[in-house]
Amino acid sequence: MRKAVLIYYDARMLGHEPSGWDTNHPEWSDAVKAMIAHQYPEASLETYAYPERPERLTAIVERLHAEPVDGQGWRSPVQATHAQLQRVHTVEHLAYIESLVGGSGWLAQDTTAVSPESVVAARLAAGAGISAIEAIASGDDRHAFCIVRPPGHHASTDHARGFCLYNNIAVAAMHAREVLGYRRVMIWDWDMHHGNGTQEIFYDQPDVLVVDSHCEAPFYPGTGTLAETGTGAGLGYHLNVPYPRGSGNATLLDVFDLVVRPAARAFRPELILVSAGFDCHYLDQTCTMDDTGFAALTQHMCALAHEVCDDRLVMMLEGGYNAQALSDSAHATLRALAGHMVDGINVLPADEGRAAVAEAARFHADSIAALRRRSEGSDTVGDSL
Model pLDDT, residue 176? 98
Active-site hit among 93, 153, 154, 194:
154
Check residue 47 and give its pLDDT: 66
- Over residues 160-205, the pLDDT tens digits come to 999 999 999 999 999 999 999 999 999 999 999 999 999 999 999 9
Instruction: State the pLDDT at residue 385.
Output: 25
Residue 159 falls in the annotated catalytic set: no
- pLDDT for 32 equals 73
The model's pLDDT over 309-333, given as tens digits with 9 standing for 90+, comes to: 999 999 999 999 999 999 999 999 9
Per-residue pLDDT of the chain (385 residues; tens, 9 = 90+): 678 999 999 999 999 998 766 677 777 777 777 777 776 677 666 666 778 999 999 999 999 999 999 999 999 999 999 999 999 999 999 999 999 999 888 887 667 889 999 999 999 999 999 999 999 999 988 899 999 999 999 999 999 999 999 999 999 999 999 999 999 999 999 999 999 999 999 999 999 999 999 999 999 999 999 999 999 999 999 999 999 999 999 999 999 999 999 999 999 999 999 999 999 999 999 999 999 999 999 999 999 999 999 999 999 999 999 999 999 999 999 999 999 999 899 999 999 999 999 999 999 999 999 999 998 887 654 433 2
Q: Is the pTM of this model over 0.85?
A: yes
Contact residues for 151 (Cβ-Cβ < 8 A; gap 6+): 52, 125, 162, 163, 164, 168, 277, 317, 318, 319
pLDDT of residue 276: 98
- The three-state DSSP-derived secondary structure of the chain is CCCCEEEECCHHHHHCCCCCCCCCCHHHHHHHHHHHHHHCCCCCCCCCCCCCCCHHHHHHHHHHHHCCCCCEEEECCCCCCHHHHHCCCCHHHHHHHHCCCCCCEECCCCCCEECCCHHHHHHHHHHHHHHHHHHHHCCCCCEEEECCCCCCCCCCCCCCECCECCCHHHHHHHHHHHCCCCCCEEEEECCCCCCHHHHHHHCCCCCEEEEEEEECCCCCCCCCCCCCCCCHHHCCCEEEEEECCCCCHHHHHHHHHHHHHHHHHHHCCCEEEEEECCCCEHHHCCCCECHHHHHHHHHHHHHHHHHHCCCCEEEEECCCCCHHHHHHHHHHHHHHHCCCCCCCCCCCCCCCHHHHHHHHHHHHHHHHHHHHHHHHHHHHHHHHC
